[in-house]
A and B are shown apart, each in its own frame.
Chain A
């Protein structure tokens, strides 16, 4: 007789080895890596050619703004390749700028919530997203990522949360609810901005109906770039907020 328990046992353990072990190649798809300019190319002409092609203004003649990149792959024709270190989250947007288009330097982990120790409660807030970021954040609860093994859980009210996870480009009608949700969080609290839209507006940057960047509305503690970032990127972002981030190591192919 088939049973749920038998079914679950037959599937075995699905959960990622991250953060204790290296991430599998399945967990780091090609577009989850930031684009990096090939080191064999002369940066100046390659950057100026890619500047014309970039739809979000992520590339300028001086370098590459990872927070604006939506991983559309257009710059791959101008000598860029998705080869950077997975997960370049940062506590200041300017830390996501790489002059010359090369890889980003390693940084100190953010310790905004180190006082909370091992347990973090997240409240997801959608400021005007396409739903992809929402579902990637909620994917942390599925058996492949199982964030609860790391003490990370989702709560249904901002009153119970430590971290406000904001996705999407803020739209005018949602600004006030956003502020109120932030005020409802008890301290110590932190704001995690997830995805290119929440960072600087992504592909919608400059649209008159929206109010990007999010950091004009809320004090953001950590930015996780990507369009959308993978669940592993988001998990690493949450761990970084708690001072437990150690970067994503990858298994050799």
Chain B
């Protein structure tokens, strides 16, 4: 039993006190602001409008402040709600869910936000982009490469600074390495939830090997500091690149052997199939991103739609499934492990000798907006820079976009489905609260 569950059974105001939230940082206001000014490019022109709708639904709910409100109340005979968290079983992160239930069945599971807010966005104005990036990459450790490179690309676009071509390659290598790690981690967590003990141990071991590659070739297991203009300890030179290529191909073949066993495991496949289903229309209407969106059959990947410099010249197969359940999301991730390994092979093989890349065009003077495909989906950083210092910054993380879909996927599920749904989404409170 978690600490807050203890509170839930205590009479009076104890449960109320345990749910003290802070409002999310300014990122949502900034996000809606820039959507109003600039429609997002894409296959469906109305995605921007749909994203706005998600943002509107993140207003404080009438019931409790800063609990995600989907706009309708679930009520009925014997229904009660209890807070699950913040230090809850099996969830590696602090975060409270407000669960509405009448027993076995979960009628609704609403995440509460703001408990982990470290006020990162508020601390950025006035810092140099390099100092700010140290904080940005610590928004969410497992996604540090995506956050740091999107932030730096946006700051460079705002200030009009050209980027060395090698630097763009280093950023792409770091992002793909982290994508492989994150997807392996999700597969391992799903295997853990499905009691596949050998499978989870072996997949966790593979994920550890990817972290060690970061430590070996970037000097840091989580690639902190590796993307900063003056930060990195290492520049991937030719012998290191061929060593990295060899290690990655070994990891790839070990993963294929594991995945063959996972596919043959009825326990694993049956447990994921049909769990936490999101329909295509829900995904589009609520602005889902990343593997959650691609698992419902929508072909959207920022690396293909709006490619930043190194991705333009590379071959990348699109991962897509149609079922929208936890299995489909897992299959998308597996496909992306393969495609990321393929991208890494190409990136390391076609290392640029020199030259620079022009910065992306700013959205308005001194303001850059960059979208990038983080491991769990589309990440947006919006940075304005004045006289070499950050003037204003905002982001929309994939977790922020996908929480409403998580709440929808939990509807009418049972308690034991909770971890499968949560893990297959790959959500983090850290990059939601900022």
The residues of A with any CB-CB pair to B shorter than 8 Å are 2-5, 7-8, 11, 14, 26, 29-32, 55, 70-74, 76-77, 82, 123-136, 138-139, 141-144, 156-159, 168-169, 171-174, 176-177, 180-181, 184, 202-204, 207-210, 227-228, 230
Per-position 1/0 for B176-194, Cβ under 8 A of A: 0000000001000000000
- 17 new A-B contacts, CB < 8 A, other than A4-B196, A135-B141, are A4-B261, A29-B215, A29-B220, A72-B225, A72-B231, A73-B233, A126-B87, A129-B430, A132-B144, A134-B92, A136-B221, A143-B204, A157-B89, A169-B118, A177-B3, A177-B94, A228-B141
Q: Enumerate chain B residues within 8 angstroms of A142, measured Cβ to Cβ.
A: 201, 204-205, 207-208
Bound-state Cα–Cα, A175 to B248, Å: 42
User: Taking the complex as formed, is B41 at the interface, i.e. its CB lies under 8 A from any CB of chain A?
Assistant: no
Bound-state Cα–Cα, A209 to B94, Å: 16
User: Taking the complex as formed, is B343 at the interface, i.e. its CB lies under 8 A from any CB of chain A?
Assistant: no
Report yes or no: A127 in contact with B94, Cβ–Cβ below 8 A. yes
The 5 closest A-B pairs by CB, nearest first: A132-B141, A29-B215, A209-B119, A126-B94, A142-B204
Bound-state Cα–Cα, A31 to B344, Å: 24
Report yes or no: B221 in contact with A29, Cβ–Cβ below 8 A. yes
Bound-state Cα–Cα, A204 to B92, Å: 21
- Which of A70, A82, A143 lies in contact with B202, CB distance below 8 A? A143
User: Taking the complex as formed, is B134 at the interface, i.e. its CB lies under 8 A from any CB of chain A?
Assistant: yes
User: Taking the complex as formed, is B116 at the interface, i.e. its CB lies under 8 A from any CB of chain A?
Assistant: yes
Per-position 1/0 for B220-258, Cβ under 8 A of A: 111011001011110000000000000000000010011
Given the known interface contacts A138-B92, A209-B119, the answer about A7 and B202 at a Cβ–Cβ threshold of 8 Å is yes
Bound-state Cα–Cα, A14 to B201, Å: 11
Closest to B123 in A: A207
Q: Enumerate chain A residues within 8 angstroms of B199, measured Cβ to Cβ.
A: 4
Closest to B4 in A: A177
Report yes or no: B198 in contact with A7, Cβ–Cβ below 8 A. yes
Bound-state Cα–Cα, A202 to B131, Å: 13
Interface segment among B18-26, B102-110, B163-171: the answer is B18-26
Closest to B222 in A: A132
Bound-state Cα–Cα, A75 to B53, Å: 46
Closest to B92 in A: A134
Bound-state Cα–Cα, A44 to B20, Å: 48
User: Taking the complex as formed, is B264 at the interface, i.e. its CB lies under 8 A from any CB of chain A?
Assistant: yes
User: Taking the complex as formed, is B140 at the interface, i.e. its CB lies under 8 A from any CB of chain A?
Assistant: yes
Q: Enumerate chain B residues within 8 angstroms of A135, measured Cβ to Cβ.
A: 92, 141-142, 185
Closest CB of chain B to A185's CB: distance in Å?
11
Q: Enumerate chain B residues within 8 angstroms of A177, measured Cβ to Cβ.
A: 3-4, 18, 86-87, 94
User: Taking the complex as formed, is B159 at the interface, i.e. its CB lies under 8 A from any CB of chain A?
Assistant: no
Report yes or no: B201 in contact with A227, Cβ–Cβ below 8 A. no
Report yes or no: B87 in contact with A2, Cβ–Cβ below 8 A. no
Given the known interface contacts A177-B87, A207-B119, the answer about A131 and B205 at a Cβ–Cβ threshold of 8 Å is no
Report yes or no: A130 in contact with B202, Cβ–Cβ below 8 A. no
Report yes or no: A203 in contact with B18, Cβ–Cβ below 8 A. no
Report yes or no: A173 in contact with B20, Cβ–Cβ below 8 A. yes
Interface centre among B120, B138, B201, B225 (most CB of A within 10 A): B138
Report yes or no: B221 in contact with A73, Cβ–Cβ below 8 A. no
Q: Enumerate chain B residues within 8 angstroms of A173, measured Cβ to Cβ.
A: 20-22, 114-115
Bound-state Cα–Cα, A139 to B221, Å: 12
Closest CB of chain B to A207's CB: distance in Å?
5
- Which of B1, B89, B221, B230 lies in contact with A230, CB distance below 8 A? B221
Closest CB of chain B to A211's CB: distance in Å?
11
Given the known interface contacts A134-B92, A172-B22, the answer about A31 and B3 at a Cβ–Cβ threshold of 8 Å is no
Q: Enumerate chain A residues within 8 angstroms of B135, measured Cβ to Cβ.
A: 203-204
Q: Enumerate chain B residues within 8 angstroms of A134, measured Cβ to Cβ.
A: 92-93
Closest to A201 in B: B118
Bound-state Cα–Cα, A131 to B90, Å: 14
User: Taking the complex as formed, is B307 at the interface, i.e. its CB lies under 8 A from any CB of chain A?
Assistant: no
Report yes or no: B115 in contact with A174, Cβ–Cβ below 8 A. yes
User: Taking the complex as formed, is B387 at the interface, i.e. its CB lies under 8 A from any CB of chain A?
Assistant: no
- Which of B92, B208, B231, B261 lies in contact with A124, CB distance below 8 A? B92
Report yes or no: A8 in contact with B202, Cβ–Cβ below 8 A. yes
Closest CB of chain A to B400's CB: distance in Å?
15
Q: Enumerate chain B residues within 8 angstroms of A159, measured Cβ to Cβ.
A: 1
- Which of B212, B232, B260, B430 lies in contact with A130, CB distance below 8 A? B430
Q: Enumerate chain A residues within 8 angstroms of B207, measured Cβ to Cβ.
A: 142
Given the known interface contacts A130-B140, A138-B92, the answer about A29 and B219 at a Cβ–Cβ threshold of 8 Å is yes
User: Taking the complex as formed, is B402 at the interface, i.e. its CB lies under 8 A from any CB of chain A?
Assistant: no
Given the known interface contacts A126-B92, A176-B18, A227-B224, the answer about A204 and B123 at a Cβ–Cβ threshold of 8 Å is yes
Closest to B94 in A: A126
Bound-state Cα–Cα, A142 to B261, Å: 19
Q: Enumerate chain A residues within 8 angstroms of B123, measured Cβ to Cβ.
A: 204, 207
User: Taking the complex as formed, is B358 at the interface, i.e. its CB lies under 8 A from any CB of chain A?
Assistant: no
- Which of B4, B115, B216, B261 lies in contact with A2, CB distance below 8 A? B261
Closest CB of chain B to A11's CB: distance in Å?
7
